[in-house]
Every structure is written in structure tokens, then in C-alpha cells.
A and B are shown apart, each in its own frame.
Chain A
Amino acid sequence: MNLINLLFGIGVGVSLGASAYAADPIKIGIPVGLSGANSVVAPSVVQASELAVEEINSKGGVLGRSLQLEIADDGSGAQGAQRAYDSLVFQKEVDGIVAMETTAARNAGLPIVNRGRVPLIYTSFYEGRSCSPWMYINAWVPEQQVAPIVDQFMSEYDAKKFFLIGSDYAFGRGMLNFTREYVESKGGTVVGESYLPIDGSDWTAIISQLRSANPDALITSTSGGAPNVTLTRQLRAAGVTIPYGNYAVDEGTAKSMGEDAEGIYIAASYISSIDTPENKKFLEAVEKKFGDDAKTPNELSVPQYEAIYAYAAAVEKAGSTNPVDVIDALGEVTVDGPRGAITMDKQHHAALTMYLGRVTGDGSVEVVRSFENVDPGEQCPQFAN
């Protein structure tokens, strides 16, 4: 009996091994912050990745091979990212990486990607000007995010004097520096710019500064989560009612903040109420696959979903997973996803349609205006074509 089992086992093993060899899956590495600062949004990003892979595989995969995810926790920071990238690139030997991460994690991962020569698509909005021949980016940079809000405040509310509040880290300062330059180039003035440490939540003194500066409009760029919502609550408690643009609020946060969030302006490349067939199809697919566990798709999970399609399309176009060919193809393929048709052909970045949204009383976001194909500007001139 034992002998028969053993022989049977060997037979199955051999046949499985053979078939696996025939159609080796294409491995896509997903370094993502399952723990740490990004842990709130990470589940939605993982779901988006799983959905994209399942959809592509159900249509026969890419070049007759199926896609397979390798998910690694980057701890939302540099140290964790180093481990995650090392294991993805050198142990799992992934063919490509699609990463929604913090700037610290991306900066830690880039040298490893360059060394291992693996195509990387970065899917989180960020402060701009991060360039590597091995990296493409399909999310927004300050050039695309700042203009809609500032323009709206200047035209709609005749705002001249702006006050800026941020958390003290690269993204917060980068966004507000760009905002200051943009406001000044449009003839406005910045009457105050204040920062709290990244985990700070007592905005008392800054709100006093704001009140004594008496600006026409307020723009904030804090870290997500607690610092952002405590600022909003304390502003409301202090009776601040001037036009308020917030770079860090997303739909989910707005919903849970309730009436405190009402009237906040946000600019985003994805808002779940976008009225296109592609978006509806996507929302239904998320609902169908995950049911009650579905995380609300958002500005970070949707680019991730599209980036997996972009990688698949690039492999298809290149005819193999050869990294050099895939990198060339990534700048040419167009993905028609929930955010519209997007091509990463602007110096490894993408022109995006940006939506100016306003939070309504029940916490949902209404689209006030849309700005077609906003150019990312000069991000990486060395890749200009």
C-alpha cells in the first residue's frame, strides 16, 4: 500500500512539475505597507491587485502564461522596503514590480530594482521628480494636483491671500512649496506657512496664527489619518469657514468625518463617483469578488489596478518578460481603466484627468469640475522623447 502511494505520489509530482514548467507563471511583486502608516489603505491596494490578476488570468493570461502575485510587507518605511525588495528581486525573482508605497520605501527600493534590473511601476501619488530608467509612475505629482484647487479658489472665491498648513515631512513640504510657487505665479500671496511634526495632532497654535493672518483660503498637506482629521476637527471647532483645500483627505476619510468634512475641496485623479462604463464595471467587479469584505476603491488602489494591466499590456507588446523590452513598451501602452485612458509617456509619468471634488454634508464627494489630461510637467527631463 505504502509503495503504491509512494509511486502514485511520484507520478503526480512529476506530471505537476512538467505542466508547471510548460506554463511558468509571470510573477509580479507587490511591496506594500501591510504594517505601519500605510496599513489602513494597504488592504484596498491588495484587493485591487488580486482583482486585476484574476481578470487577466480568466481571459487566458499574458502570452499564454498566467500572472501570479508575490505580496511583501514593506512596513511603510525604508528598512522594511529593503527587505521586501531584496526578497522579491533576488529570492522570488519576480518579473515586474507594482508598488503603492511611501516615498521612503520607494527610495529604499529603487537601488535594488536598478541592480536587479526589474521593471517597476510606482502607483502612489508623490512629491515628484523621482527618476530611474527602471521606474514608471501612473499617479499624480504636485503639478497635476495643485492647480485645480488653487485655480478654483482664485476664480470662484476671488482668493488672494493663502495660508498653508502641513506635516513636516518630504511630501508635506514638497506639496506646499509647489503650492507657494504656483500661488505666487498666479499673482496671489502666501500669508503663512506652518508645519507640525509628522505625528503631531495639536494644531492649537497654528490655528491661532491662521486666524490672526486672516487669509482668504486655506490649503493643507498633512500626513493621512489622525493628523489630517484632527486638524479638520480643530479648524471647525475654532470656527474657521474660509475655503479649505485638503491634499490628504480621501473619500473614505471624508465619509467617516461626517459634517466636519463638509465643504472641503479635494483634487484627485480618481473619485468613485466618476461616471464612466469602465468605472462602473470596475466597481461591480470589486463588489462581486469581495462582497462584504470589499474595501472602497480609492486614489491609491485604482492606479494599482491599472498598473497591473499596464504591466500585462507591456509584456504582451514586448512579446516576452525581457526587462529591457518591457521597459520600452511601458512608455507606449495605453490602459483604459476606471480613471480613463492613461499612457505613461510623459518622461515616465502620465498625463491624468484630474477631478476637483467637494465634500457634501453626508460625506460623499461631488465632482465640481474636471480637468482633461493635466500634464505632469518636467519630471525627468533625461527621459524626454
Chain B
Amino acid sequence: MGSVTFDVLTTAAILFVVSTGLMVILGVMKLLNFAHGAFLTTGGYVAYMAGLAGVSPWLSIPLASILGFLFGLVVERIVIRPLYQRPLDAILATWGLGIVISQVFALTFGRGVQFAPSPLSGTVDFLGVEYSAYRLAIAAIAILLAFALIGLLSLTRFGLNARAVIVNEDLARGLGIDSTKVRSLTFGLGAGLACAAGALITPLLSVDPNMGLPWLVNSFMLVLVSGVSFPSLLFASLVLGGTQVLVSTYVSPILGGMTIVVLAALILRLNPKGFSRA
């Protein structure tokens, strides 16, 4: 029983970490970033190359976030910004970008699976349950990340501007907020978060050119259900991820695999606003 509780909590933590990047971009830019999966993959390859170079696995996560941020700024300038007036085309462009990125990885590293070193291995005894040390570490990181992101949105100038753009972009621009800069920084932030998440989950998985794809679908469902709010995303991860673990454990892992998608559809059917109060 104890380990199932931990499974629920850590699975929710992983889902939360993986989805934040997608939500940030959706919230501020009203753009569904289909390259999110490819950004996760990028993070995985950063962790893999950092491992090859002998960099500490812990450092590979901030490294991935910095590279992802810079990469995001470049992508925003070249691919996204020219398409601001054509939101549907912009979504299509991110999809194409995702394909290009994963093909570049396939050409560079081959289609085979690679491995990134794990910063923590084995189990620890926590509250009377022997449990995977790295999964517990991910849970801790997720909680810190949630506080940091909430802090960023509610305590900083960038956060204030971003919230203004979320609520009403035209009005925000009228008040002198440089919405282009906010959008650019947001896309960088979203990409950085996605890359860091990719590096973070890689030690539990393996790196291959399509590793981000299944996560893209789940993040997408979570963000649809949660709306644009970190506490509500945390709640959605807990509900959907928790149900997934419970179904997998007590019913069948095959049904568990589709729990998130089915449950998200159900929730949106009953309450089109999902968990968001806005």
C-alpha cells in the first residue's frame, strides 16, 4: 500500500514537471506548442551528451534548461514570431519543428536508444517504505519547481507582465508592456522548462529520437484539464496521474495506459472549463 501511495505522488510529480513548459507557452502565447515533445527529447540528449562529457548528472538538468532557454529564444524569433497573426499556422509550424528536431537527432545519433547516467541509483528507506531514490528526488524537485514558478508569476515584474498578457494582450500593450518581449521570454522559459524536464526524466528512461512523443500527449491532456494555473496543474497531475497508477496497479496496466486520455475527455465533457476557476 505504501509503495502505491509513493507511485501516485511521484507519477504526479513527473507529469507536473513535464507539463509546465507546455502550459507556460499556452497560457501567455495562446499557442499549443507541438514541439514540446521534441524539446523534452532535446533535454534527454543534453543529459546524454553531458554524461559522455563526464559532467555530473545533477548539473545536466540546469544545463539543459539554459540551453533550452537559448534555443527557445532562437526558435521564437525565427519560426514563431512571423506567425503571430496566424495562430493556426503557428501551431502547424511547431508540429513541423518537432518533426525536424527529432529527425536531426535521428541523423546525428541514429535511431537506437542511448543512456544518460542517473544521479541517484537504488532505493532509500523513506517513511517505512523502500522506494526508488531518484523518483523521490523528482518529487522534491517538482515541489520546488512549483513554488519557484508560482513565485516567478506573482512576485516578479516579468510575472506581472506575463499575467497582464494572459488576461488581455491588447490592453497590456496599451499600458506600455512590450508584449513581443514577454512572448519571446515566455517561449524561452517554456522551452527551457521542457528541456530540463527531459533531462530530469531521462535517468528513468532511455534517450531516443521520439522519447518525448508519449509525454506530449499526456501533457496536452493535463494542460487542457487544468487551464492556465500552476496549482490547478498540480491538482490535475495528482488526479489524472493518480488514477492512472491505481488503474494500472489494480485493474490492468494496458487500461492504465489510456486512463489519462479517457479521464481528461470525461472531465472536459462534464465541465468544459476543467479544473480552472477562470
Contact = CB atoms under 8 A, between A and B. Distances in A.
Interface of A: 39-40, 168, 194-197, 199-202, 204-206, 208-209, 211-212, 225-226, 229-230, 233-234, 236-239, 252-253, 256-258, 260
B29 interface: no
A230 B115 CA distance: 10
Given A233-B205, A237-B118, A256-B113, A209 B211 contact: no
Interface in B1-25: 3-4, 7, 10-11
A204 B256 CA distance: 11
Contacts of A211: 3
Judged by DSSP, the binding face of A is helix
7 contacts: A205-B245, A206-B248, A206-B253, A208-B4, A233-B203, A252-B112, A256-B114
Contacts of A206: 248, 253
B139 to A, nearest CB: 13
A212 B6 CA distance: 14
A206 B255 CA distance: 12
A237 B112 contact: no
A226 B256 contact: no
Nearest to A232: B206
A230 B254 contact: no
A200 B253 contact: yes
B170 interface: no
Interface centre among A40, A195, A196, A233 (most CB of B within 10 A): A233
A204 B248 contact: yes
Nearest to A196: B253
Nearest to A235: B132
A239 B124 CA distance: 9
Given A237-B135, A238-B132, A257-B115, A204 B205 contact: no
Contact of A197 (B112, B131, B254): B254
Interface string B112-135: 111100100111000000111111
Contact of A205 (B111, B205, B256): B256
Nearest to A239: B123
B56 interface: no
Nearest to A253: B113
A204 B246 CA distance: 11
B257 A225 contact: no
Contacts of B205: 201, 226, 230, 233
Contacts of B204: 230, 233-234, 237
Among B113, B115, B123, B211, residue most surrounded by chain A Cβ atoms (within 10 Å)? B113
A230 to B, nearest CB: 5
B231 interface: no
A274 B203 CA distance: 33
Contacts of B245: 204-205
A290 to B, nearest CB: 16
B249 A205 contact: yes
B132 A237 contact: yes
B208 interface: yes
Contacts of A257: 115
Residue of A196, A202, A206 ringed by the most chain B CB atoms within 10 A: A202
Given A199-B214, A204-B245, A208-B3, A239 B254 contact: no
B134 A237 contact: yes
Across the A-B interface, give the 9 residue pairs with the lowest CB-CB distance, nearest first.
A205-B248, A239-B123, A205-B249, A237-B132, A229-B206, A40-B112, A197-B257, A230-B205, A238-B132
Contact of B254 (A39, A196, A258): A196
The CB with the most chain A CB atoms within 10 A, among B118, B123, B257, is that of B257
* A199, A201, A237 — most chain B CB neighbours (10 Å): A237
Given A204-B10, A229-B115, A236-B122, 14 more contacts: A39-B111, A168-B254, A195-B253, A195-B254, A205-B244, A205-B248, A205-B249, A211-B3, A226-B206, A226-B208, A230-B206, A234-B132, A237-B135, A256-B113
B10 to A, nearest CB: 8
A204 B4 CA distance: 9
Contacts of B3: 208, 211-212
A192 to B, nearest CB: 11
Contacts of A229: 113, 115, 206
Nearest to B202: A233
Nearest to B122: A239
A98 B27 CA distance: 54
A226 B113 contact: yes
B121 A236 contact: yes
Contacts of B257: 196-197, 200
Contacts of A209: 249
A200 B134 CA distance: 20
Interface in B219-278: 244-245, 248-249, 253-254, 256-257
A200 B113 CA distance: 15
Contacts of B118: 233, 237
Contacts of A236: 121-122
B110 interface: yes
B113 A238 contact: no
A376 B88 CA distance: 57
A208 B256 CA distance: 14
A199 B115 CA distance: 18
Interface in B68-122: 110-115, 118, 121-122
A204 B11 contact: yes
